[in-house]
Structure formats: structure tokens, C-alpha cells
Amino acid sequence: MSRKKIVAATGCPTGIAHTFMAAEALKIAAEQLGVDIKVETHGQVGIENALTDQDILEADGVIVAADKDVNTDRFHGKPLIEVPVAKGIRTPNELIQGIINGEAPVHQVKGRASGTEKTSAPSPSQQKSSNKWIHTIYKHLMNGVSHMLPFVVGGGVLIALSFLFGIYSADPQHETYHPFAAYLKNIGGLGFSLMVPILAAFIADSIAKRPGMVVGFIGGLLANDGGAGFLGGIIAGFAAGYIIVLLQFLLQKLPASLDGLKSIFIYPVIGIFLIGAVMTPLLVPITGLNNSLMDFLSAVQSTNPLLLGLIVGAMCGFDMGGPFNKAAYVTGTALLAEGNLYFMAGVSAACITPPLIIAIATTIFRKHFTPQERNAGAINYILGATHITEGAIPFAAKNPVVVLPIIMFGSAISAILTYLFGVQVPAPHGGFLVLPVVTGAFQWVLSILIGSLVGAILYGLYRKKIDKPAV
């Protein structure tokens, strides 16, 4: 009996850790279950180990573990299981077993005839339309976020570097003016200013492909120029995507000979007109809502740093790169664009803490960890120092009920202390690499180390308690 063949695609918003952790987990599970698998990864550097048409044709089923668009249209007619990337990390055996057992629903793309590919009966999972709808919306949003992040990080770090010459060194009228600082701030500001248009463009791209991207970019520019900010960009992205979907539906009976004209002329012209008509009257209320939200968060930050730090720390530590973590991080980048450098300091501290908790615990309580865990723990020093939270996931996954609260507690301590010290972090990523531009760098590192040490001791004591001496 020939071995089953499965193809898979993984992707996460940042494209740094979750993407490759899910790919590795699927490969290990496939080997254990005697299945051949090829995994395509959608990381920050682009698509690697790309699936060919022949790979897909020969596959008995497809697994998509992604929180971004990975072009599932090419899997038309194939049994397909689509889940968040976190599930690819935590339950790879279950996903592969679903393909083996013929439980995966057949993927159907509207407007395409069924091919001769292998099929299977729909499973009860098809009935979970509510969860699928929520994940679809989240996937569209995260596709925008994943493409936005390089602009935010690249532009934000350059702006932060300009502060090394002085806070006002980019101002020609100030005595500390330095031309190179002005250059850094101008170039970085240009990259940072594209945050909202890129966000909107790739939300729309996830919904309606290239025609949506064009309309989404214009909608994002309208939101950005109108002061609607990040919230306006999200609304513009979804509006643009579904405007194009509506146009595709209304124009589907046009002759096939006009398909090229639709993409290059009809969709852009009508789509840009309609997104302008939609966004123009919405700009005032969205801008008001956006400003109110930013003011509220700023007020909580100054009046109740304990509560804010608790919330931010818990969100960042709860799913470490997942939806809650991303919500806090994206809010931090949005506030950074508004000139608020305090909020991101707490978010960064809370994101750096989880891997450091693991690293310190495997160092202090080393005899209660396996050699493989100690090696992974040492790597977490590097991951934590560079703001890659996901290194803690394999440890948390072994007993999330106990380990996640410990990580959340440690992250909350780090965030609370950061807010109490009034630390300012002008860069949206980079971890300790951006220390030269951090205002209150010593206090920031101290806050992170205290939160990490507390979490590490709690986690280490837990491992000591469950560690059974060999007899």
C-alpha cells in the first residue's frame, strides 16, 4: 500500500517564528504517521519550498495552517483542512490524521468546475461556519498586518536612530540640528507613513487579489490623509476588498474576452471611485473614534499604569504571537505613529519576557530539564533579546493550563514596571538591539529582567515539583 501524500502551507503575520514552527511540527508528525509531506512556508522573506502544480495534483489532501493569505484557490477540488497557524504547532498529528481518515472537506472555489482530483465526503467541520468566518476575517486582517510590519519596523527604527543625535536634531531651526539625523527621520518617516495604505491594500488583496489591492491602497491613503489612522485603514481595506467582490459578481456575465479589460481598467476605475464615495463621509466619524481611542489609551497609561500593564502583559503572554499578542502589538505601532512612545515600551517588554522566562528557568533549574530543553532554553536568550516571543511556545504547549498563567504574570510585571518608570521606546521592534535609542534604557532592561526572573522562578519550581527522580 502506497504512502499517503500531503501538501501543506504555513504562514503567520510576522513570518518569523510561527510559520516555521508549524512547518517543523507537521513534518515531525508526518514522519511519525508514515506520511509523505511537503510544506510550503510563507515567511517574511517570501515563499520557500513552493508547492508545484504536480505536488498538488499528486496530494491526497492539503493542510493550511496560516493566519494570512496563502492562495488556497490552487487547492480547488482537494480535501483541505484550514486552521490557524497555532493549531499547526499544537495539534499536527490531529490535522494529518484528518486527511488520512478522509474527514477533510473538499475545497471548492466559486466559479470553477470540479476537476478529477481525489475527493472525500464533507465532514462535520464544514458546519462550523461561525468559527470559519471569524478565522477568515482574522486571516484577511493579518495579511495586511504581515505586509505592513516591514514598513513599520524599517521606518520606525530609522526614525529612532535619528534621535541618537538629539530629540530635535532633525529640525533645521533647532541648535542640535544634524543633516544626517534629518535624512534618517525623513526616510524613516516616509516608510512609516505607508503603514496604513499598505495595511489596507493587503487586507483587500487577501479578499479580492490584485484588483482589491489597488483599491485598498487608495482607501488607505484616504484614511491616512484624513486622520482616520489605523482604524480607518482596516475599514478601508475590508470595504475595498468587498467592493471588488461585488463588482466581480455584477460583471461576471461579461464576455471572457473582456477579462483583461476588467482587471486593468474596469475594476480600478470603478473601484477607486466607489472607495472614495464610501470613505469620504466616514472619515470624520472614524477620525473622531480613532482619536478617542488613542486618548483613552494614553489616559489609562498615565492614570492607571498598573491596570494597563496587567492587560498588555496578559495579552502578550497569553498566545505569544497569536491574535491577543498581535492586538497589543498593533495598538502599540498605531500609537507610535501618533507620537506615543510609552505604550510600545510596555508591549515590547511584555513580548521580550516569555522567552527569557524559559531561558532563565532552564539555566537556574537546569537539572529539571532534558538536554534538548536546555539547548532550546539557551536559544531563547537570543530570541528574547531580539523580541521574538514565539520561542516560549514549545514549553508552554506541554502544559498550557499551568505555564501560560506563569508567562502572563511575568510579562505583566515587566509591562507594569516599564509604565511606572515612564520608559519610552521609539522603535516598534528589535528588542535589546534598539537600546541606544530607548529613553530609560536601564529601567527598561531592569523591568524586563525582574518580570523574567519572577516568571522563571515560578516555572522552575513547577518543573521541580513535577520532576520525578529516576529510581
Whole-angstrom distance, CA of residue 88 vs CA of residue 27: 10
Task: Tell me which residue has cell 495598538.
Answer: 331
Give me the mean pLDDT over the 230-243 stretch. Answer: 91
Catalytic site includes residue 316: no
Kindly report, residue by residue over 276-317, the tens digit of the pLDDT: 999 999 988 988 887 787 777 777 766 777 888 888 888 888
Kindly report, residue by residue over 72-86, the tens digit of the pLDDT: 889 988 899 988 888
Looking from the CA of 153 toward its CB, the CA atoms found within 13 Å total 17
Which contiguous run of DSSP H or E holds residue 27? helix 18-33
Q: Is the pLDDT of residue 198 over 60?
A: yes
Give me the mean pLDDT over the 237-262 stretch. Answer: 87
Q: How confident is the model at residue 175 (pLDDT cuts 50, 70, 90)?
A: confident
Give me the mean pLDDT over the 97-117 stretch. Answer: 73
DSSP 16: S
Which contiguous run of DSSP H or E holds residue 401? helix 400-421
3-state secondary structure of 5: strand
Do the Cβ atoms of 44 and 137 come closer than 8 Å?
Answer: no
3-state secondary structure of 9: strand
- Tell me the average pLDDT of the chain: 83
Whole-angstrom distance, CA of residue 237 vs CA of residue 141: 8
Q: In the sheet that 5-11 helps form, which strands lie side by side, from edge to edge?
A: 46-48, 36-43, 5-11, 61-66, 80-83
Looking from the CA of 320 toward its CB, the CA atoms found within 13 Å total 36
Q: What is the pLDDT of residue 217?
A: 95
pTM of the model: 0.73
Whole-angstrom distance, CA of residue 195 vs CA of residue 362: 39
Whole-angstrom distance, CA of residue 360 vs CA of residue 377: 8
Name which of 218, 244, 220 is nearest 232 in CA terms.
Answer: 220
Q: Is the pLDDT of residue 219 over 50?
A: yes
Name which of 328, 286, 15, 278 is nearest 143 in CA terms.
Answer: 15
The active-site residue out of 6, 9, 12, 96 is 12
Residues 6 or more apart from 365 whose CB is under 8 A from it? 460, 461, 463, 464
- Sequence-ordered alpha helix ranges (H) in 72-194: 85-90, 92-100, 129-162, 179-193
Contacts 24+ apart (CB under 8 A), 461-466: 461/365, 462/402, 462/403, 462/406, 463/361, 463/365, 463/368, 463/369, 464/365, 464/368
Looking from the CA of 167 toward its CB, the CA atoms found within 13 Å total 7
Whole-angstrom distance, CA of residue 330 vs CA of residue 351: 12
**Cα 139 to chain center, whole Å?**
10
Q: What is the pLDDT of residue 90?
A: 82
Domains in the chain, please, with CATH?
5-127 (3.40.50.2300), 138-285 (no CATH), 304-466 (no CATH)
Whole-angstrom distance, CA of residue 410 vs CA of residue 352: 10
DSSP 79: B
Q: What is the pLDDT of residue 471?
A: 36
Give me the mean pLDDT over the 252-266 stretch. Answer: 81
Do the Cβ atoms of 32 and 26 come closer than 8 Å?
Answer: no
Q: What is the pLDDT of residue 124?
A: 41
Whole-angstrom distance, CA of residue 358 vs CA of residue 463: 11
Q: How confident is the model at residue 126 (pLDDT cuts 50, 70, 90)?
A: very low
Q: Is the pLDDT of residue 222 over 90?
A: yes
